[in-house]
Structure 1
């Protein structure tokens, strides 16, 4: 298990849970707007193994969708997976306030408040996946089953 230097709430949560993970860092380019694809290229990892964390508004509260960085979140699919009629992308400022992280560094782990979470089924295709570790240029590699267990996520087809 990795010990996190300059830890984040995400790494603290992993360490407390005793989960094995690897910290993967890279130099973030502040002019980049596609944070996930930047991570995949910088870390030399296929983009389908790097997952982004997106927040949605459901009308009854926020939810979290975790999908590969080279795909889009299917709003109808996540609404269905969350058991609501409709989902829209959360306002970035709302996402930041809710999670305690900045856009481009929102981790599914260690958020301020536990939210209903759905992890795209393609995560099961890999022994490990990468997600943001809580800041830009800082990713965490871990088993999808561990991520799902810690976030209480369900698996569903939510990427298109």
Structure 2
């Protein structure tokens, strides 16, 4: 497995410190984020999942703890929209350039508006996907916000 991805290159170019953590990806896991947390031995609240959604038909990225679900109402509101829905996996792969299970908020093919669950900022360090299945990046959540220009808002149900 390569530890250099578009996501790691994007963080390096932004001058953001991070560490790389590999784990055994289980393609049959019911909840990919929870499986990643268990595999690296971290609490699920610190292992964030990257989800792609549509707000009023426009793509957005949302980053939430792996043990939580997104509130579509809160997500739509965060971006000043009326309605939100999850993006189809094939559309998420096309928009981001990453495979489902390996979607990172960093280094996506097209930069889209991003929201991160505000509770994630309470942690000193969090994990986000590194741009391929079985690869997590550990970094400061404030750096996630800075690198992505993300909104830090309550988006979980």
Task: Identify the TM-score tier after normalising by the shorter chain.
Answer: over 0.9
Describe how 1:90-105 pairs up with structure 2 within 5 A: 90-105=87-102
Describe how 1:75-90 pairs up with structure 2 within 5 A: 75-90=72-87
* 8 Å CA contact retained: 2:3, 2:20: no
**TM-score between both structures, scaled by the size of structure 2:** 0.96
Asked if residue 125 in structure 1 is aligned to residue 122 in structure 2, the reply is yes
* 8 Å CA contact retained: 1:53, 1:108: yes
How big is the shift at 1:35? 1.1
* 8 Å CA contact retained: 1:35, 1:136: no
How big is the shift at 1:60? 4.1
RMSD: 1.3
Describe how 1:1-160 pairs up with structure 2 within 5 A: 6-160=3-157
How big is the shift at 1:136? 1.1
**TM-score between both structures, scaled by the size of structure 1:** 0.94
Give the unaligned 5+ runs of structure 1.
none
Give the unaligned 5+ runs of structure 2.
none
Alignment size in residue pairs: 157
